[in-house]
Amino acid sequence: MSQFSFQLEATDPETGARAGTWTTPHGPVQTPAFMPVGTLGTVKGLLPDQLRDAGAQMVLANTYHLALRPGSEVVRELGGLHRFMDWDGPILTDSGGFQVFSLAKLRKMDDEKAVFRSHIDGSLLELSPERAVQIQEDLGADCIMCLDECPPANDVPEKIRAAVDRTTLWAKRCRDAQKRDDQALFGINQGGIDEGMRTRSAEALVPLDFPGYAVGGLSVGEAPADMYRTLDFTVHQLPEHKPRYLMGVGRPVDILEAVCRGIDLFDCVMPTRNGRNAMAFTSSGPVRLRNAVHIRDESPLDPECDCIACTRYSRGYLRHLFAAKEMLGGILVSLHNIRFYQKLVHDLRIAVKSGTVAQFRANQLARWNAQP
């Protein structure tokens, strides 16, 4: 009997937004859900208890980086990733497929495997589909990803088609290589912003009957309108009764628009990366705390937020921390941003279940002064 199940609880007929519960061996995940990124087994600057208190249900770690250090065998010998990083909730590990895109200058690739030149010490790391699965089985995450090829957004049609076909080939090999039955292996839809290529990918992957499906290869340089258009013709081709994961996205407005197109799961480094660089997401839009306007500002970062950064400290104090290069500034604003993202997906879930998604979307876009 599978340790995973996905139960849809409500679907908005106007937008396609969904609310559900995805059950995993380390607990349920109420969707839509946002996963903070803990690349090396830690969400930078934040303790697991702080993540949990901020509303995070599930976190993401990185196969490529953990394979380089400390090594997946070390993590396995130390009890697996949950014990290693002291996170008792669900974990997702990516496959290294994004590094195929982001570290293109440091790798060579053919249909058999990708070979990386380590950005740390120059040593070689081979990632075949079989090795990517083995690493993720060593790490012990609840959800693991097929190795895929993520092409640049502006790649030529021939290369996008080749990436789609290689992703399909690797997905079959990943499925065949999987040994553990307590991990959900997700297939990844690729194809850039081309409808025909996205259809080609979906038609090849869906018959493989993965327990969940991701949409990869977005937020890699295309315009937001192209991302949303791609989701419009891609999401409905993925199984309705399985979780749908949009990889590496993104801005709050992107999450809002993707939920309204039927996406369930998200991850992105943006909340913590921006937090470390003095940029906060708030209910009224982004706040850049290095700006001099905040020097004497006694107001909270976001009066609608219940996190410690907003309930105990002023904008003036937070700006001072960044001006003085005190690490507490990045910690507090990262924590706030994680809380903001968690509240956004929580409120979207409530809107789906109450049938008010369209109104919620319009109100949020107006408050953020954002364009979909």
Active site residue 306: no
pLDDT at 228: 98
Question: What average pLDDT does the chain have?
Answer: 95
Task: Please report whether residue 63 resides in a domain.
Answer: yes
pLDDT at 1: 57
Task: Please report whether residue 338 resides in a domain.
Answer: no
Q: Which domain CATH number covers 204?
A: 3.20.20.105
Residue 210 has pLDDT above 50, yes or no: yes
Q: Which of 12, 94, 138, 302 is catalytic?
A: 94
Angle between helices 224-234 and 195-205 (to 10 degrees): 40
| Domain extent for 95 | 5-275
Task: Please report whether residue 211 resides in a domain.
Answer: yes
Contact 305, 339 (CB under 8 A): yes
- Band (372; pLDDT cuts 50, 70, 90): very low
pLDDT at 134: 97
Q: What is the maximum span of the chain, computed from C-alpha positions, in angstroms? A: 61
Active site residue 148: no
CA 368, 51, 269, 35: dihedral to nearest 10 degrees?
A: -90
pLDDT digits (tens, 9 = 90+) for 123-141: 888 999 999 999 999 999 9
Task: Please report whether residue 328 resides in a domain.
Answer: no
- Band (153; pLDDT cuts 50, 70, 90): confident
Cα 86 from Cα 63, distance rounded (Å): 18
Contact 147, 170 (CB under 8 A): yes
Residue 109 has pLDDT above 50, yes or no: yes
pLDDT digits (tens, 9 = 90+) for 276-315: 999 999 999 999 999 999 999 999 999 999 999 999 999 9
Q: How many residues are given for the chain?
A: 372
* Exposure string for 90-119, b = 16+ CB within 10 A, e = fewer: bbbbbbbbbbbbebeeebeeeeebbebeee
Counted domains in the chain: 1
- Band (370; pLDDT cuts 50, 70, 90): low
The encoded tokens of residue 90 equal 């669900």
Contact 119, 186 (CB under 8 A): no
Of the chain, the percentage scoring pLDDT greater than 90 comes to 89
Q: Which of 12, 138, 254, 267 is catalytic?
A: 267
DSSP state of 26: T
Task: Please report whether residue 231 resides in a domain.
Answer: yes
Contact 295, 322 (CB under 8 A): no
Task: Please report whether residue 15 resides in a domain.
Answer: yes
The encoded tokens of residue 70 equal 């400390």
Task: Please report whether residue 81 resides in a domain.
Answer: yes
The encoded tokens of residue 182 equal 């307590």
For residue 234, how far is the Cα from the chain centroid? 18
pLDDT digits (tens, 9 = 90+) for 218-277: 999 899 999 999 999 999 999 999 999 999 998 999 999 999 999 999 999 999 999 999
pLDDT digits (tens, 9 = 90+) for 341-354: 999 999 999 999 99
Of the chain, the percentage scoring pLDDT greater than 70 comes to 99
